[in-house]
Chains A and B, each alone.
Chain A
Amino acid sequence: MRVIAVSTCDVMDPLETRYKLIRAKLAGVTTNMLGVALKVLTERREMYIEHLKEGMKHAGMALVLTESIEAAENCIEAARGWRGALVVCGVAASSARRLSARAKDLNLYITAAGDTLQEIIEKASAIQAAGVKPAIAAESQSPMKVAALLREVGNRDLGLRISFPGACVKDTASEYDMVRQAALAMLYLRYGADVVVIEANFKWAIQPIARLICK
């Protein structure tokens, strides 16, 4: 599986989420290869639900980045009946059973994160035991560490592999930031990432990657 997920974490207006996704499509990303990454804050329920609904209209995957199980449950509720994949990041592995019970027919993934591979393996196993598909969020300051983790996770078949080459790239990104993001996206895909989350404020940030992988 290869998915380009457009980060909308800094976006306030759901319309902007729509524009970003449409822009990604115009750049050549097909719906089944398009994802949306949303920051889900508990106190802004109406807003994130609106963002999620926009995402579900245009993308085949939604990643919700949250730290609250209640917010994750709200997202599951909003996604009921959707045929895309909902990936919940940031909740404890022990919450998997509770979320699984609500997910029913939904294509749900929960991410296992950790500082060591052992920790990730344990969390992924717990998520799997709860009847939910695990995903791994590979985040690190060092691209080399991310590449190593992606490879190791791939060798052990621990689940969907998500990487964040666009982390810290903002609306005011320089050419260098864009270039760096593109290079890291391809590097992570090389090392087995299934999903790359990128900032796509400018279409030329996403179009070259789409050209290479969406054929």
Chain B
Amino acid sequence: MRVGFGIYHPMLTVSGLMNAIQQYLGLDIDERIEKAFKELESDFIVLHWPHNQLEQLLETCRRWCGKELVVRLMGEVEPSFMKKLSEIALTVAPSQILRLSPEVYLDRKQEVYYIEVLSSIDIEQLKRILAIPAERIILDLRGLHQNWRGREGRFMLPVLEAAVGGYFLYDEVDVVFYHPLAHASIRLLKEGKTAGRNLSDYAKLIAEARE
């Protein structure tokens, strides 16, 4: 599992293994991508991109060809554009948004699943995520913050984020956080990543347990 932090502000620097960057008009997206790759040592970057700025996206992808960018296109996008995007650079992975209900997409094999986890999530839906036949799954936990306000939200959200993230601790699932209080969750999941770095350790433990 790789964990990340949503960066909405160009000056915010949080150490992360992955970063999610929201494109806004008037902000220098390339500067932020560079910062994330170089200073924050991101393995890859998730770009949240509005559908009305596709030409700019093409330009950005050309410039960052060779780096791993996962593009989450916000809004309806023509299939022809998706094709155009994938032709620019193979490392650009167009992602799909999967809302956890109704049961859609689960029978379709694709490269990347970008899943928005909503506050209505439960353990049965978490199990369904595990069953998705994708090469990469990116979980966006920002949706957990819906309708959570005040003291309740202040104390509970980091715990809820960690609970959902913890379910996937030893899996190849990437998790994107965006909450000012998510630091504790990130710290923990990084620990988990370190502990689970070598999956053969897990197999070894199982083998030892059998003896």
Binding site for B on A (CB under 8 A): 116-118, 142-145, 147-149, 151-152, 175-176, 178-180, 182-187, 189-190, 202, 204-205, 207-209, 211-213, 215
> Given A180-B162, A189-B123, A209-B163, do A148 and B188 touch, yes or no (CB 8 Å)?
no
Which of B152, B166, B189, B202 meets A148, CB within 8 Å? B202
Contacts of A185 in B (CB 8 A): 163, 166
Contacts of B206 in A (CB 8 A): 148, 151-152
Which of B123, B162, B184, B210 meets A152, CB within 8 Å? B210
Interface range on chain B: under 10, 10 to 19, 20 to 34, or 35 or more? Answer: 35 or more
Contacts of A189 in B (CB 8 A): 123, 167
List 3 tightest A-B contacts by C-beta distance, closest first: A183-B166, A208-B160, A204-B155
**Residue in chain B with minimal CB distance to A146:** B205
Is B164 located at the chain interface by the 8 A CB criterion?
A: yes
Measured between alpha carbons, how far is A43 from B202 in the docked complex, in Å? 42
Contact B192 A143 (CB under 8 A): yes
Contacts of B210 in A (CB 8 A): 117, 152
Binding site for A on B (CB under 8 A): 121-124, 126, 152, 155-156, 158-170, 181, 184-185, 187-189, 192, 195-196, 201-202, 205-206, 209-211
Measured between alpha carbons, how far is A204 from B162 in the docked complex, in Å? 12
Measured between alpha carbons, how far is A145 from B205 in the docked complex, in Å? 7
Contacts of A142 in B (CB 8 A): 195
Contact B185 A152 (CB under 8 A): no
Which of B121, B185, B205 meets A212, CB within 8 Å? B121
Contact A190 B167 (CB under 8 A): yes
* Least distance between B139 CB and chain A CB atoms (Å): 13
Contact A175 B158 (CB under 8 A): yes
Measured between alpha carbons, how far is A143 from B188 in the docked complex, in Å? 12
Measured between alpha carbons, how far is A211 from B123 in the docked complex, in Å? 9
Contact A213 B122 (CB under 8 A): yes
Which of B123, B156, B163 meets A183, CB within 8 Å? B163
Contact A180 B122 (CB under 8 A): no
Measured between alpha carbons, how far is A178 from B161 in the docked complex, in Å? 11
* Least distance between B134 CB and chain A CB atoms (Å): 18
**Residue in chain A with minimal CB distance to B160:** A208
> Given A144-B202, A144-B205, A213-B122, do A204 and B166 touch, yes or no (CB 8 Å)?
no
Contact B165 A183 (CB under 8 A): yes
> Given A179-B184, A215-B122, do A144 and B170 touch, yes or no (CB 8 Å)?
yes
Contacts of B123 in A (CB 8 A): 189, 212-213, 215
